Amino acid sequence: MSVKIVGTGSALPENQVLNTDLEKMMDTSDEWIRERTGIVGRHISTGETVADLAVKACERALDNAGYAPEQIDLLLVATCTPERAVPSVACQVQSRVGADSAVAMDLNAACAGFLFALHTAFAYVEAGIYKNALIVGAEVLSKIVDWNDRGTCILFGDGAGAVVVEKTEKGGILGFVQHSDGKHGEVLRCDTRELKNPYVSVPMESPFVKMDGREVFAFAVRQVPAGIREVLEKTGKRIEEVDLFVLHQANKRIIEGIAKRLSVDIERFPVNLDKVGNMSSAAIPVLLDELNREGTLKRGMTLILSGFGAGLTWGACVLEW
């Protein structure tokens, strides 16, 4: 028993910010950003919340799958940028889309969040607890980046992507791996609220995203190929059988480095980061929705999904579309 993706959806803020717009705000240039990241533009919230974007992506995924909201058993939201500590984003989405029968909860594995949520849904379905799930990765990263730090604010965008999965006896997820390395988690961090009460006041060290770019790059180009090889071995698949590698969209150079280490043609690694930047947990499902709606994905294709990011967290899965 496994789960297969039967519908996709995505949502982006209307406001698109190009590199040329950032030139007017800080000491940077379109050429500098393109050369180092591959990013040309990103969508930035002008009021849309994580829940707003998640709701739109979920509604589109449900419509694409032909599901009514009340048919959903499990609703998982992967995010590291919720507006509220409680209620969870998932409960907000459940209320607004009308998924009244669903169990709803959030999951935070940063940029690997969507993949970890997908694996969580797989486990619930395989255990026979639920028959289907609605999974969404949603972020408003623009509120946690320092807009005076040209090294980080140029990288990120806001958005949400969702999938509907259901129980299947054939195909779907064939196998997965996932890992965490908390010992090296400080290379990418962001604090939330300071500890302040009548007895103590401890200021936040990093109220905005802080990243050691070199360490993150080295981690990604080392561990992602290792994870992909591991999941291929686990499923008995050969790398030549994989039609597309749908990776977290962090940086074009990272994706090129991973392709090179795997000795795989870069054409098998679809990208959309040039238009949307790094959207953390939303990156993979937004790209999947784009590929699905343009007709690139065909039933029976073999895909590898791989996410990696803060934690440090990373993982991969092989699935039959």
Residue 205 has pLDDT above 90, yes or no: no
Q: Which of 64, 108, 278, 292 is catalytic?
A: 278
Question: Does 207 sit behind a cis peptide bond, omega within 30 degrees of 0 on the bond before it?
Answer: no
Q: What is the pLDDT of residue 13?
A: 98
Nearest CA to 255 out of 213, 308, 310, 208 is that of 308
- Of 4-18, 28-42, 199-213, 241-255, least confident by mean pLDDT is 199-213
Q: Which of 43, 190, 248, 292 is catalytic?
A: 248
Entry pTM? 0.97
Assign 1 a pLDDT band (cuts: 50, 70, 90): confident
Q: Which of 111, 153, 190, 317 is catalytic?
A: 111
Residue 296 has pLDDT above 90, yes or no: yes
- The CATH 3.40.47.10 domain(s) of the chain lie at 2-170, 174-320
Residue 40 has pLDDT above 90, yes or no: yes
CATH topology of domain 2-170: Peroxisomal Thiolase; Chain A, domain 1 (3.40.47)
Q: What is the pLDDT of residue 197?
A: 96
Assign 204 a pLDDT band (cuts: 50, 70, 90): confident
With contact defined as beta carbons under 8 Å apart, do 221 and 257 qualify?
yes
Average pLDDT, the chain: 97
Residue 95 has pLDDT above 90, yes or no: yes
CA angle 133, 138, 139 (to 5 degrees): 160
With contact defined as beta carbons under 8 Å apart, do 71 and 65 qualify?
no
Residue 206 has pLDDT above 90, yes or no: no
Averaged pLDDT, 212-238: 97
Two tokens, residue 281: 């947990």
278 is catalytic: yes
Superfamily name with CATH number, domain 174-320: Thiolase/Chalcone synthase (3.40.47.10)
Residue type, 232: L
248 is catalytic: yes
